[in-house]
Structure 1
């Protein structure tokens, strides 16, 4: 696994409000905006800030820590490492499992056309390992 981060994803309560704040208020330029779902902003040469609807985040990553009734769960942030092939996703997830990472979720096809899986570091932070075909995926690869 190369030493780099491709995406920082934050689970947000209101994507439209985030778009107003970051783009309308701070003047940042969206790379992709799907109303009610996700806002992606290029924040570095090969790094994207992804502001993702909280419910969609929880559906894919798991319940958010400290959410309703102080439930235990994952922090509302993920870090992503993008690769060029599905096979690379699987290889990195296998290596994470060998290192004792847990939980590790197997790579799977996503409704948006990519292929991703997750592992947790020793403190529970989730890393998404992703093959993301298309313009946004190409943007984050060196």
Structure 2
């Protein structure tokens, strides 16, 4: 079996709030929804799913009390710097927080970070 990522599941404190952030705020189309689960189909065939934090921790057999930087960021590639700026603005207007304002990178690109309502970090980057 080859290593691929079919879906990324985010543990969230408030499923309704996170659903609204991703669906209403960022425009992700809901593909499947249950009482404690929401799935969005993303471009490229992968999915982003949301699951209550305590339930997901139980599912994985770990303590749900983790905090701080989890050592993971999600990346969103944009066409150019103006698209980076526009998406960061959209995320902030939807209820996210700008973790790092967009700026030119040493390697020649342009990027910034936002955090969703549960603190999951997204890097928005353009070449």
Shorter-chain TM-score range: 0.3 to 0.5
TM-score for both structures, normalised by structure 1: 0.43
